[in-house]
Amino acid sequence: MNDMKKWIQKNRLFLSVIALSLVLVVMISTLIILLFTQQSSENIVVEPLEESRSKEEQQLEKEESSKKKEPSPEKLVVDIKGAVKNPGVYGVTSDMRLIDAINLAGGFTGEADQSQMNLALRLTDQLMIYVPKNGEELTMEQSLKQPVKSGEKVNEEVASKGLKVNLNTASVAELQTLAGVGLKKAEDIIRYREENGSFQQIEELTKVSGIGEKTYEALKEQLTVDE
């Protein structure tokens, strides 16, 4: 036991150096572990947040781009008459169909002849909608009316219902309901009628400036000259 004490006293400096070295090793190891843990924590928490934020930004950009590509529906006004429960003027939007306008007016009455209506028709501003009663036939004046703009091409709904345009009585607006007939051609037809008298047969339409055989063939089923 005395020999051990003597050895310790003799090597005290050496043992102190070893103890200090062990303390330094423990401290350095602890520091390394703490730094590694902190770095791992940043990789686990921060990076997903940045990735998540990036995805949210991309989603917002897509939504904004989608909104720009799809303009909001325009506000329109239509006048609904005839066999509906609540005739009148109604505010609608450009993405609505004829059936939507009819529903706004309370729906059809029991006398309404729905077979003459194109319920899938897309609405336009200042449109006049007339719903006929059973046994009543739509005339050109009662068919879906809307202001006709210069160069506007057609009202396909008129043709789809089998209504015919009378070359001898039609106005410029009515002539423009024919597919491919704009303002200029409509005026040329009326000018020809005024200068040469009433059309005796629909084939005479080819004598009007700017109307050839192809145009006539496309229109003939929609025309009449009967008074």
User: Domain limits at 199?
Assistant: 149-227
Return the amino acid letter for 117: M
Q: Tell me if 92 sits within 8 A of 77, measured CB to CB.
A: yes
158 neighbors 219 (Cβ within 8 angstroms): no
Residues 137 and 95 in one domain: yes
Taking the CB of residue 171, how many other CB atoms lie within 10 A of it?
A: 13
Provide the Cα torsion 131, 133, 135, 141; round to 10°: -40
Same domain, 155 and 143: no
Out of 147, 166, 184, a domain closes at 147
**pLDDT score recorded for residue 61:** 76
Do 75 and 65 fall into the same domain?
Answer: no
Which of 44, 69, 94 terminates a domain? The answer is: 69
> Which comes out higher in pLDDT, residue 198 or 156?
198
pLDDT in tens, 15-24: 677 777 787 8
The domain boundary residue, chosen from 108, 130, 147 = 147
> Structurally, how many domains does the chain consist of?
3
Check whether residue 109 and residue 47 sit in a common domain. no
| Distance in angstroms (rounded) separating the CA atoms of residues 189 and 219 | 13
Least confident span in 19-23, 109-113, 135-139, 187-191: 135-139
Domain shared by 57 and 86, yes or no: no
Beta strand pairing status for 127-131 and 88-93? unpaired
Q: For residue 220, what is the domain's CATH number? A: 1.10.150.320
| 60 and 7 together in one domain | yes
Residues 84, 98: one domain? yes
Residues 157 and 227 in one domain: yes
Of 135, 200, 214, the closest CA to residue 168 belongs to 200
Asked whether the predicted pLDDT for residue 148 surpasses 70, the reply is: no
CATH at 111: 3.10.560
Are residues 110 and 139 located together in one domain of the fold?
A: yes
Residues of the chain with pLDDT > 90: what percent?
A: 14
Q: Are residues 208 and 165 part of one domain?
A: yes
112 shares its domain with 99: yes
Mark whether 119 and 107 lie in a shared domain.
Answer: yes
Q: Which pLDDT band holds residue 176 (cuts at 50, 70, 90)?
A: confident
pTM: 0.39
- In tens, the pLDDT along 50-101 reads 555 566 777 777 777 666 666 788 888 888 888 999 988 888 888 899 999 9
The radius of gyration computed from the CA coordinates of the chain, to the nearest angstrom, equals 43
